[in-house]
Amino acid sequence: MVESFIKKLHSDRFLSLEVTPPHSPTLDNIIENIKKYKLDCMVDGFSTTDNPLARLKYDSMFSALKLQQTFKKPCITTMSMRDRNKIALQSDLLGMNDFDLRVVLALTGDPAKSSDQPNAKAVNEGRSTLLLDMIKCFNSGIDYSGKPFKLTPKKIYPFAVTNAYAKNSKTIYKNMLTKLSHGANAIITQPVYDKENAKMLLKIFGDAKKDTPFLENDPILILGFFPITRLRTAQFLNSHVPGIHVPIYWMEKLLYAKEISPQEELKVGIELSKKTFSEIYNIGKKVHLMSANHFEIIKEILV
């Protein structure tokens, strides 16, 4: 299952869908919504977030396992450096390996100060590149201390992330180069809202691949996309989320529609999202869909 997922990523168009686990002891409602909109038939696999913004959620690994077992499609399991030390990270990797959770998205993680839990403290023994290095060790049959495993783990496929926009494109280049140098098999960008932005990212990624010493695989760039259906969402992403740029024409069209009615704003937002998704999908061929579990909107842009 995992190997066919990676093969699809390298050889064809590719779609993955992000799932944000709930502040709840069950994932059943999310699974039912995915089934309701038949999204499992439209994507190649899923991903699960790991307590984004340091807010308490259902566990990322258990979410990935449940999605993978329910839909028989691989899940990218996000692992944050914020909440685990070297021992816990490697222990989780071993357990995940037994259940075939072998596609891992390595994140440094949002700061603990933004948590909804009182006085939460971060672990952060390193950044996401430390997890990439651990996975490289596992794939060589040893743990991070250099001790050989009695049984070599099944191959793990590490993914990483990067910003979609920066005032100086060299910042993105350096980030990609760093992640590739530490063995990332794929890099997922933050949401992209313009075809020229998509072309720029692919060009930077190509340069970073060319300049990465001892490149052991053929890494893939996956363009992120988050549908925008409200002006306030566009303004928030553009103003408060580093690494994302929403073009001015999005703002202008959503503002004009908002002045007509909420229904018109939603309609225009879906039209813009559908058009932009189609453009970046045709350019990059690989897209990671995010929606904060608004699966009805994902269905709208895919049909």
Per-residue model confidence (pLDDT) at position 200: 96
Q: Which residue has the tokens 């939460």?
A: 120
Task: Supply 127's token pair.
Answer: 């950044």
Give the confidence band of 299 by pLDDT, cuts at 50, 70, 90.
very high
Q: Is the pLDDT of residue 240 over 90?
A: no
Q: Enter the pTM of the model.
A: 0.95
Q: Which residue has the tokens 């794939």?
A: 139
Per-residue model confidence (pLDDT) at position 167: 87
Q: Is the pLDDT of residue 80 over 90?
A: yes
Residue 281 to residues 15, 57, 112, 225: CA-CA distances in angstroms? 9, 30, 34, 10
Residue 76 to residues 63, 169, 186: CA-CA distances in angstroms? 10, 27, 11
List the end-to-end C-alpha distance of the chain, in Å, as a whole number: 26
Contact 159, 187 (CB under 8 A): yes
Max Cα separation, the chain?
66
Per-residue model confidence (pLDDT) at position 244: 93
Taking the mean position of all CA atoms in its chain, how far away is CA 49? 8
Give the span between the Cα atoms of 279 and 275, in whole angstroms.
Answer: 6
Give the confidence band of 226 by pLDDT, cuts at 50, 70, 90.
very high
Per-residue model confidence (pLDDT) at position 107: 95
